[in-house]
Chains A and B, each alone.
Chain A
């Protein structure tokens, strides 16, 4: 299990390397990147902040939940960026290795969906004329 928060650009090749497993016939990867607009406003950059200790703990838990739901899961990795990211930068990489493709898609989606709901990481969008913490207000 590879679980990491990092201030440095995510090395996708290294994450894929960690998915190497003889019993795996499928490696599924989700890569979240920084988009140039949000609800019609032009985004200049994103600022990510994490409660490191809890975020790592919760990320491990999400990966463990995936392993319980898909016991055939061979490898799992979640790496999330922190700090200031430019348009096109990689914010998060989720990767799973499983014997067959169906469970690789399902497990990968479960991990990124659950991450977005429970892991204490926050992003602030910076526009030409201000900033907004995403999802903070109704």
Chain B
């Protein structure tokens, strides 16, 4: 399945682009996606936290990703 991952803030700067296109096996979990991205972009492992958003909600590690999901990496938030 093909996934587009939106990147914001420091995650966008670490990866060097605002979107990533990934081809992943069907049934890839949130945790597996995170691990793959952290291996590919080690700067991501230095962050205080790194969450995955799926369709505008924070996703749990065991959730399985679907091709039509809207996925984003959420580095530590600092609004307000």
Residues of the A chain whose Cβ atoms lie less than 8 Å from the Cβ of B6: 51
Q: Could you tell me the distance between the alpha carbons of A103 and B47 in the complex, rounded to whole angstroms?
A: 36
B72 adjacent to A54 (CB under 8 Å): yes
B interface size (C-beta, 8 A): 21
Q: Could you tell me the distance between the alpha carbons of A119 and B58 in the complex, rounded to whole angstroms?
A: 10
Residues of the A chain whose Cβ atoms lie less than 8 Å from the Cβ of B53: 51, 54, 120
Residues of the A chain whose Cβ atoms lie less than 8 Å from the Cβ of B75: 122, 133, 136
Q: Could you tell me the distance between the alpha carbons of A16 and B78 in the complex, rounded to whole angstroms?
A: 25
The distance from the CB of A14 to the nearest CB of chain B, in whole angstroms, is 20
In which size bucket is the chain A interface?
20 to 34
Q: Could you tell me the distance between the alpha carbons of A58 and B56 in the complex, rounded to whole angstroms?
A: 8
Residue of B nearest to A59 (CB): B79
B77 adjacent to A122 (CB under 8 Å): yes
Q: Could you tell me the distance between the alpha carbons of A20 and B65 in the complex, rounded to whole angstroms?
A: 44
Residues of the B chain whose Cβ atoms lie less than 8 Å from the Cβ of A50: 8, 79
B48 adjacent to A138 (CB under 8 Å): yes
The distance from the CB of B43 to the nearest CB of chain A, in whole angstroms, is 10
Residues of B within 8 A of A (CB): 6, 8-10, 13, 46-48, 53, 56-58, 70, 72, 74-80
Q: A112-B80, A136-B76 are in contact. List 10 more A-B contacts (CB 8 A).
A: A49-B8, A53-B56, A54-B57, A57-B56, A57-B57, A116-B80, A122-B9, A122-B10, A122-B77, A137-B47
